Amino acid sequence: MTITSRWFMGGLAAAAIVSWLPIAAAGQTAAANTRARSLKTPWGDPDLQGTWTNTTTTPLERPRGAGDKAILSEEERTAEAKRVQALGDHDKDTIPGDSIVSYNEFWFEKGTLNYRTSLITDPPDGRLPPLTPAAQERWAAQNQQRRGPASSWLDLNTWNRCISRGLPGAMLPGFYNHNYEIVQAPGYVAILIEMIHETRIIPLNGQPHLNETVGQWLGDARGHFEGNTLVVETTNFNDKLFERGGVNGFGAGTKLVERYTRIAVDQLDYEFTVEAPNVFTRPWTVSTPMVKQSGDVLEYACHEGNHALVGILSGARADERKAAAKAAK
């Protein structure tokens, strides 16, 4: 979260997110759009700098009950926002027996719904495309491996291991810390991601991508400006991160194309398209606009050295010893 008090975060985001695309873009004043387009760095690039948030409770995929409805009316949005807020109220969670819940409502920075029924804008049904047979088989094997207690660190995802939320996962809203700081210099753009505290360094000088044999957790990014839009193409993902959920990464062969456009002084239009022919039967596109924040991004220490991972594995071994002792009796 930012230095700006989190007590005001929800209200600020809620007020701003209601005006998100696609409806509000049409309502931007000509003066605001002109001012946004005129913002330049000292060396002449469009100025995207600042701290931004994409917090929202709008789901990645359109709920099946929404049918073919892509846009909510104001009445529908208000009613659905209340329903989602009530469902996600973790202060109401009950704790059966000696179970542990991870967070209560104090920690969450949720924002509210925008007018769209999903962050996915293509395919038109607002849902992820079908998986390829190879991806279905790989995910089934991975889920089977992780169904029981953690036998090793490899049974835990890369977020649990404090490595990465992957891409596009790191650029998607989650449940807190949806903050990004964009810094520009001649020939480069850097994006600091609060969650897991990763930084993406994006060259703008036209240099080619790395050799295709070199894979990286966040891939190899190359950017350029098309008018006022920063276009970033990322390839060369390694095949170690293959996740869905809070972590999203689809392994080797994936290409991510992002577009950042400042549509107002306090708003970025951000969208990306995923091309992962090894995983999905067609490309898909997300729009998750960003709202400007004041203050700086604070460090996300991720388990303060990830002592939690030791606890998870030690606990699983303790449970195994307890079960073996009980069986011996």
pLDDT mean over 111-126: 91
Percentage of the chain with pLDDT > 70?
84
User: What are the pLDDT digits (tens) for 136-179?
Assistant: 999 998 888 777 778 888 888 888 888 899 999 999 997 788 89
Answer yes or no: is 20 within a domain.
yes
Answer yes or no: is 1 within a domain.
no
Answer yes or no: is 215 within a domain.
yes
Indicate the pTM of the whole model.
0.84
Let me know: does 251 contact 243? Beta carbons within 8 Å. Answer: no
- How many domains does the chain divide into? 1
Cite the DSSP H helix spans in the chain: 6-17, 23-27, 30-38, 74-87, 133-145, 302-328
Answer yes or no: is 10 within a domain.
yes
Answer yes or no: is 140 within a domain.
yes
Question: Domain range holding 36?
Answer: 6-328
112 Cβ contact partners less than 8 Å away, ≥ 6 residues apart = 13, 14, 17, 18, 56, 57, 81, 85
Q: What's residue 239's pLDDT?
A: 95
Answer yes or no: is 281 within a domain.
yes
Answer yes or no: is 144 within a domain.
yes
50 Cβ contact partners less than 8 Å away, ≥ 6 residues apart = 181, 182, 292, 293
Answer yes or no: is 152 within a domain.
yes
User: What are the pLDDT digits (tens) for 92-105?
Assistant: 555 555 566 666 77
Measured torsion, CA atoms of residues 311, 312, 318, 319, in degrees rounded to the nearest 10: 150
Residue 149, helix vs strand vs coil? coil
Q: Pull the structure tokens for residue 235.
A: 């390839």
